[in-house]
Structure 1
């Protein structure tokens, strides 16, 4: 089977997130299974226009907005009649494949953007996107679809879709055999991209309350992004500059090492498709205290973490963990073991072929 996957970013894009990890993990397993897989995506600074990663052909053209038009042109001039399946990967804006793709089609749906529009774009584009999203997604109601969480499936159902199969993401790290050795002092961690929709400022505000009660506590913030300076400023404003450490982007091995040492993962995203970071934390014996938001509520509930409504409640939950912490951490490790990319791939193939 020859598969063309349309996704606005690829795994090497500096802004890549969980959606890009997902599509790549599935694509490389398609190749291992004897299929051909091509990801068509947008260019970024310093990238190659074409390369092969893990056996997957990556074709990059256009930018954040023009990639959709470039995908149409590439299909018309290069892929039409040369592929067996086209996957329209929807993460905010779709590729509108029902209008031009003649081969077998399906959509891979991560999440509705909803609140993301107001966190990521300026007015009036944010309002236009928010109002237009339900209308353009309804164009896909009759398309074969797969999604990644109960929250996303319910969002699609509200738009008139039928029962959409759910294929949960896996994780790249192996779950710990036992609770890893933690830092001596209470250490909290956040490893989301530093962008407004992730609300890492709420993480810092929650930590401020915790630190007032436990002065030796620390907060580690991994990853980078356009909000870093603002977040560093907030830490200084709250007199936390010596308590909050910004690591920036770290290699994956280092990331897992830090997660294992931390006690609690804080996650405040506006909404998610799922939340791979939540499962990664759980696999390393680090429970998540996260906001009760779409997607996040699914991954947190599935891995033994805790849901709260605001940063004050988040701080209170962290402070309440106390003597039961070891049981909580063990529970997280156990629950994380069901999230495996091989299992996800097998479910994906069954749903595609059904």
Structure 2
């Protein structure tokens, strides 16, 4: 599953191209959750085995993340990757690119895989899709890491940084 606003920088078009390499090996369905200005173009690019859901209510997003083998996050620019943490809380590991933000929200080899290029993204996708025990182990580790994040702690840390910056 891929979840997010369908805008150019999220690179869902790349995911669709990689899916053509991945699908013959893994089977399954690539589910794209979200809406945005790129949706029509992306739907035209999509081949077999791709389903676009559009925007979904939180309960449906929860269901889709729980049912997914992996969260696929092909963005090259990300502030944090909130959806990575949302998926992690549901024991769904992520495959993402090794870029700032995602590097912070995915623990490479523990809660998911950080790819350094398109081929390594596809290889990680295939490898994890074909390894249910490894996926489950990463999913549990991802859940444990996500459980440590609390808004109260985040707010305290933000205030400390803001106070320091104001001085």
Question: What's 1:297 paired with?
Answer: 103
Question: What's 2:43 paired with?
Answer: 232
Residues 163-186 of structure 1: CA distance to partner in whole angstroms, max 9, x if unpaired? Answer: xxxxxxxxxxxxxxxxxxxxxxxx
Q: Find the structure with the greater CA-based Rg.
A: 1
Question: What's 1:285 paired with?
Answer: 91
Residue 246 in structure 1 maps to residue 52 in structure 2:
yes
Question: What's 1:333 paired with?
Answer: 143
Aligned equivalent of 2:125, options 318, 323, 328: 318
CA drift at 1:288: 0.6
Give the aligned CA root-mean-square deviation in angstroms: 1.7
Work out the CA distance in 2 between the residues paired with 1:214 and 1:305. Answer: 18
Aligned equivalent of 1:205, options 17, 27, 32: 17
Residue 346 in structure 1 maps to residue 156 in structure 2:
yes
Work out the CA distance in 1 between the residues paired with 2:20 and 2:149. Answer: 33
CA drift at 1:311: 3.1
**Partner SS, residue 270 of structure 1:** coil
The size of the alignment, in residue pairs, is 160
Work out the CA distance in 1 between the residues paired with 2:150 and 2:112. Answer: 19
CA drift at 1:339: 1.5
Whichever structure has more strand as a proportion of its residues is 1
Work out the CA distance in 1 between the residues paired with 2:52 and 2:26. Answer: 20
- Gapped regions of structure 1 (runs ≥ 5): 1-188
Give yes or no for contact 1:271–1:293 (8 Å, CA) kept in 2: yes
Residue 191 in structure 1 maps to residue 12 in structure 2:
no
Residues 146-179 of structure 1: CA distance to partner in whole angstroms, max 9, x if unpaired? Answer: xxxxxxxxxxxxxxxxxxxxxxxxxxxxxxxxxx
Work out the CA distance in 2 between the residues paired with 1:252 and 1:319. Answer: 28
CA drift at 1:309: 2.4
Work out the CA distance in 2 between the residues paired with 1:311 and 1:218. Answer: 20
- Gapped regions of structure 2 (runs ≥ 5): none
Residues 303-324 of structure 1: CA distance to partner in whole angstroms, max 9, x if unpaired? Answer: 7221112333222112212132
Give yes or no for contact 1:210–1:315 (8 Å, CA) kept in 2: yes
Q: Please give the TM-score of this superposition, normalised by the length of structure 2.
A: 0.88
Question: Relative CO higher for 1 or 2, CA cutoff 8 Å, sep ≥ 6?
Answer: 2
1:264-283 equivalence runs, <5 A: 264-283=70-89
**Partner SS, residue 193 of structure 1:** coil
CA drift at 1:273: 1.4
1:29-44 equivalence runs, <5 A: none
CA drift at 1:205: 1.9
Work out the CA distance in 1 between the residues paired with 2:3 and 2:55. Answer: 9
CA drift at 1:210: 1.6
